[in-house]
């Protein structure tokens, strides 16, 4: 668990890798070429970043012909899911709901 | 918990224009809890074990395991909160004020794995993870 969390942190500590991961999570599976075209970074650099993301299990790949396709694997975020910041947002949202409920209970 | 890592505490406080008795019902009656928190089999009885259940999302099975620790009607409620390796305690304190009730929620006792995450949050990751949560939540 701890090693996994460290790998995920290391992988996401770089803004280019964060952008790649967010893009795959948002837009679905993409080839290295497609990712390179939008990034302004060279293809070898993108491949290296994808390697780090893959090591952290944040992305998965598959070969199809000459192209390697990558997709996000958000389950790898599990080690991070218990963040205080996540719970902070969670509880604030639930407090809002609690207040709404209290108003309805007046009726 | 390890000796080297102090526990973390999250506190959220609000003053609401409602009497403590009413808030107590919202915090302790299963059907009302479901309306603002999650599906549950909660009972305000010390030692009672229960689950809060939410829709699973990638990275989270949606289940909270809890045990009731403190029940002081209209005043204090506390239960353990366990999920995906997180062990914590949630404590509610209701204090009457001039116009209503001061509601305090404290969640404490995060384990060492979360420590890395806590430090990460200070680097400005909150927004990023917030975005990811939305993305991950929309995947299924």
Instruction: Give the separation between CA A54 and CA A7, rounded to whole angstroms.
Output: 10
Question: Is the Cα torsion angle B80, A100, B14, B21 positive or negative in sign?
Answer: negative
* Tokens coding A92: 């604030």
**pLDDT-derived band of residue B63, with 50, 70 and 90 as boundaries?**
confident
* ipTM score for this prediction: 0.73
C-beta atoms of A77 and B16 within 8 A: no
**pLDDT-derived band of residue B140, with 50, 70 and 90 as boundaries?**
very low
Q: Quick: pLDDT tens for A46-74.
A: 999 999 999 999 999 999 988 999 998 87
Question: In chain A, what residues touch B52 (CB-CB under 8 Å)?
Answer: none
**pLDDT-derived band of residue B76, with 50, 70 and 90 as boundaries?**
very high
B103 part of contact set with chain A, CB < 8 Å: yes
Which among A79, A83, A91 has the least Cβ separation from residue B12?
A: A91
* pLDDT over threshold 60, residue B115: no
Q: How many structural domains compose chain A?
A: 1
pLDDT attached to residue B135? 46
User: How many of the other CB atoms lie within 10 Å of CB of A36?
Assistant: 17
State the Cα angle at B16 between B36 and B65, rounded to 5°.
35
Higher pLDDT, A72 or B77: B77
Average pLDDT over residues B88-111: 89
* pLDDT over threshold 60, residue B46: yes
Question: In chain A, what residues touch B86 (CB-CB under 8 Å)?
Answer: 82
The CATH superfamily label for domain B9-111 reads: START domain (3.30.530.20)
Helical H segments across chain A, by residue range:
2-12, 15-27, 32-39, 43-55, 84-104
The enclosing domain of A15 has a CATH number of: 1.10.10.10
Instruction: Give the separation between CA B46 and CA B48, rounded to whole angstroms.
Output: 6
A83 near B88, Cβ under 8 Å? no
Task: List the end-to-end C-alpha distance of chain A, in Å, as a whole number.
Answer: 48
A80 part of contact set with chain B, CB < 8 Å: yes
Show the domain range for A74: 2-81
Q: How far A6 CA lies from chain B's nearest CA (Å)?
A: 8
What CA–CA distances, in Å, run from B21 to A103, B2, B14? 14, 38, 16
What predicted TM-score, i.e. pTM, was given to this entire model? Answer: 0.57
Q: Print burial letters for A38-68: b (CB count within 10 Å at least 16), e (below 16).
A: ebeeeeeebeebbebbeebbbbeeeeeeeee
Which among A25, A84, A100 has the least Cβ separation from residue B8?
A: A84
C-beta atoms of B22 and A102 within 8 A: yes
Which among B58, B113, B128 has the least Cβ separation from residue A79?
A: B113
């Amino acid at each position: 668990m701890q090693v996994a969390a460290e790998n995920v942190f290391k992988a996401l500590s770089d803004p280019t890798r964060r952008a790649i991961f967010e893009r795959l999570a948002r837009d679905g599976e993409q080839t290295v070429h497609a990712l390179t075209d939008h990034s302004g970074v060279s293809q070898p650099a993108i491949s290296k970043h994808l390697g780090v993301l893959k090591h952290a299990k944040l992305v998965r790949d598959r070969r199809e012909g000459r192209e390697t396709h990558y997709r996000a694997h958000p389950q790898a975020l599990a080690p991070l899911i218990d963040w205080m910041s996540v719970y902070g947002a969670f509880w604030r949202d639930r407090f809002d709901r609690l207040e709404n409920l209290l108003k309805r209970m007046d009726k | 918990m390890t000796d080297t890592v102090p526990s973390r505490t999250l506190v959220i406080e609000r003053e609401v224009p409602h009497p403590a008795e009413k808030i107590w019902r919202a915090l302790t009656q299963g059907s009302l809890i479901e309306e603002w928190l999650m599906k549950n089999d909660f009972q305000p009885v010390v030692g009672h074990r229960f689950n809060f259940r939410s829709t699973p999302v990638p990275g989270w099975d949606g289940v909270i395991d809890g045990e009731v620790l403190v029940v002081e009607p209209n005043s204090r409620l506390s239960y353990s909160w366990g999920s995906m390796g997180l062990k914590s305690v949630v404590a509610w304190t209701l204090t009457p004020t001039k116009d209503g009730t001061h509601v305090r929620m404290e969640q404490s006792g995060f384990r060492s794995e979360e420590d890395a995450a806590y430090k990460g949050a200070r680097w400005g990751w909150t927004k990023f993870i917030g975005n990811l949560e939305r993305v991950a939540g929309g995947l299924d």
